[in-house]
Amino acid sequence: MREQLHELIRILNSENDVLKIEKEIDTKVHDNIARSQRKFFIQEQIRILQDELGDEEASPELTKLRDDIRKARLSRPAEAKALEEFAKLKKTPPLSPESTVIRSYLDWMVSVPWYKRTKDNLSIGHVKKILDEDHFGLEKPKERILEHIAVLNLVAEMKGQILCFVGPPGVGKTSLAKSIARALGRKLVRISLGGVRDEAEIRGHRRTYIGSMPGKIIQSMKRAGVINPVMLLDEVDKMSMDFRGDPSSAMLEVLDPEQNVAFNDHYLDIDYDLSHVMFITTANVRYAIPLPLQDRMEIIELAGYLQHDKREIARRHIIPRQLTEHGIAEMAIGITDSAIDTIITGYTREAGVRNLEREIASVCRKVAKDIVLGKQKKGGKKNKKPPLPFTVDPQKVEHYLGVPRYRSRPRAKGHRVGSVTGLAWTSVGGELLNVDVALMSGPEKLTLTGQLGDVMKESAQAALSFLRSNAKSLGIPPTFSKGKEIHIHLPEGAIPKDGPSAGITMAMAIYSAVSGKPARSDVAMTGEITLRGDVLAIGGLNEKLIAAQRSGIGKVLIPRENEKDLTDIPAKVKEGLTLIPVSTIEEGLLHVFGPARPASGAQGRPRSRE
């Protein structure tokens, strides 16, 4: 009997605990229901009071928002859309998530500029002065900008003018866009497109997504605060594409003058006029820009700076800025032109001037250190008589920066068999390209070394095929390749080399090795060749001639098709060079191997002579 009572007590205690828990849950549920009913009751009271009053004076926030919509002077479709969303916001409970979404949307609508604009300074003299102050050289881009300003003086608006600056890093593409904005008196906004791979980065996200917001274009317009800023789209050649869409295709609507008058952002979901914006894009290489985008832009090539250009840029811009930043601008610090040339040739190898500025900054730091040490040795930091004047010459440059990292390759001395000097274009400027050829007994094959690209390998094969097919007319044994291994080597194998412009150089080097005639070392050449022996046009002629001049080359063979390009090359570059246009390989043989010219005429085709 006792055990039964104990079991009964245990069961009753368990049931009592369950009842207590149920009672607690019921209490919490009733409290939550009562709280929700109270909120709903109050919200309904507010809504009914607002309806009775007939305006939004009961809510100061809504009143301010309504006034902001009126002051924003939106376009008619945008104003209709904003008022529609505002009416929806009034009927939405303030604590509803939908209320936050609508409020954020209306805030974006009134913060994006619709009518406010800056007044342009269209004085050509003022614009030219600003551009010359900020940049040395760059004559073609400056001329194009001045033309644009001249047209703006005659017409109110000019659509379709989207400039694209293409050039190596450090040549001043971004800073040129900043100078244009400063010269015109416009605000500048910059968008970096490098690595952008989501279409929503350009067009924005739809409002149905959590955390949605407009794209970079509308965000930049909000930052600018005016409808006519200068918008710089940096690195337009580095946009990517993946499963989230193709942003380069979305950019078509932004950069197309016929479409950007009604640019539709997914978040705003209304047409926005971008036609007043001056778009400037930048890229490092032209071929990486999608062709549809190229079609909508005016490409302006910015070539690498020449040595004398870098010297002037360093003297006029870099050195004064670095002296100021290092606190030694007021002191008698002098950096000689020869010291600048030493830094340019021995410590930098680039098309722009970024590394040049870093090296000059390094020199300024070490000069500052020497000055401070001189002060302390003469009586501590309070001594105001530093060891000045202080001149930096090439010896001090080597003392400060150490052993030169780069050495210019001098031309070979004397005439050598199987070795010919060519000219190559690189991203850091022109370089001499020595081509060495050796004939050895062994299997009949062509060996290429020196880390050559596919195009250069094809040029070597074309040169060999031309010589074999025209051996008799060129005065070399027709069976020169039988039982021979022909080895073509381009020194500095650690540097990748590619391009068709070494074709004539390889043909001359093989001819020299086969005929045993030494090639002149003071003659350099460049040109693409065909199997018929024609020499075709090449690019980068300006940089290649600079390399020839720097290395003491006296005579340069260029394709006849490039003769027209010589008018655009500065006289300083052509100074001391004898430029000889050639249209065929046979024409070039006379200048490389002397007056003993072989019989002309290629096998299988009569060659016309003018």
- Each residue of 327-355: b (16+ CB within 10 Å) or e? ebeeeebebeeebbbbbbbbbbbbbbbeb
Owner of token pair 């870098």: 310
* Catalytic annotation, pick one of 81, 173, 396, 544: 544
Is 20 a known active-site residue? no
Q: Show Cβ contacts of residue 459 under 8 Å, excluding neighbours closer than 6 positions.
A: 500, 502, 503, 506, 528, 529
pLDDT, tens only, 454-492: 888 999 999 999 999 998 888 888 888 888 899 999 887
| Range with lowest mean pLDDT among 24-28, 196-200, 357-361 | 196-200
- Distance between CA 499 and CA 501 in Å, rounded? 6
Q: Specify burial of residue 36 (Cβ count, 10 A radius: 0-12, 13-18, 19+).
A: exposed
pLDDT at 606: 36
pLDDT at 404: 87
Structure-block tokens of residue 596: 């003993």
Q: What Cα–Cα distance (Å) separates residue 22 from each residue in 9, 119, 302?
A: 20, 73, 80
pLDDT, tens only, 385-394: 445 577 888 8
DSSP 8-state class, residue 584: B
pLDDT, tens only, 69-88: 888 888 888 888 888 888 88
Q: How confident is the model at residue 602 (pLDDT cuts 50, 70, 90)?
A: very low
CATH assignment of 124-301, given 3.40.50.10490, 3.30.70.100, 3.20.20.70, 3.40.50.300? 3.40.50.300
pLDDT at 201: 84
- Distance between CA 347 and CA 65 in Å, rounded? 60
Q: What is the 3-state secondary structure (H, E, C) of 589-603?
A: HHHHHCCCCCCCCEC
Domain ranges of the chain: 1-50, 55-111, 124-301, 312-401, 416-593
Contact yes or no for 555/453 (Cβ under 8 A) = no
- Report the candidate in 80, 91, 105 with the shortest Cα–Cα distance to residue 207: 105
pLDDT at 504: 94
Provide the Cα torsion 73, 75, 77, 82; round to 10°.
Answer: -30
Contact yes or no for 62/76 (Cβ under 8 A) = no
Q: In CATH, what is the architecture of 312-401?
A: Orthogonal Bundle (1.10)
- Other Cβ atoms within 10 Å of 196 Cβ, number: 21
- Report the candidate in 231, 212, 234, 218 with the shortest Cα–Cα distance to residue 273: 218
Q: Looking at the DSSP assignment, which residues form a beta bridge with residue 525? A: 422, 557
Contact yes or no for 327/367 (Cβ under 8 A) = no
Contact yes or no for 311/344 (Cβ under 8 A) = yes
pLDDT at 608: 35
Tell me the pTM: 0.73
Q: How confident is the model at residue 160 (pLDDT cuts 50, 70, 90)?
A: low
| Domains 124-301 and 312-401 equal at CATH topology level | no
Please tell me the number of Cα atoms within 13 Å of 38 on its side-chain side: 6
DSSP 8-state class, residue 495: S
Please write down the long-range contacts of 364-370, taking CB distance under 8 Å and 24 or more positions apart.
Answer: 364/322, 364/323, 364/325, 364/326, 364/328, 365/326, 366/400, 367/326, 367/328, 367/333, 367/392, 367/400, 368/326, 368/327, 368/328
- Report the candidate in 431, 423, 425, 597 with the shortest Cα–Cα distance to residue 524: 423
pLDDT, tens only, 399-411: 888 888 877 665 5
* Catalytic annotation, pick one of 220, 459, 481, 501: 501
Collapse the DSSP code of 251 into the 3-class scheme (helix H, G, I; strand E, B; otherwise coil) and give the result. helix
Sign (positive/negative) of CA torsion 397, 398, 402, 405? positive
Is 501 a known active-site residue? yes
Residue 465, by phi and psi: left (phi above 0), alpha (psi -120 to 50) or beta? alpha
Contact yes or no for 387/368 (Cβ under 8 A) = no
- Distance between CA 312 and CA 314 in Å, rounded? 5
DSSP 8-state class, residue 314: I
Q: In CATH, what is the architecture of 416-593?
A: 2-Layer Sandwich (3.30)
**Single-letter residue type at 214:** P
- Distance between CA 196 and CA 250 in Å, rounded? 11
Residue 126: phi, psi to the nearest 5?
-65, -45
- Mean pLDDT over 227-252 rounds to 82
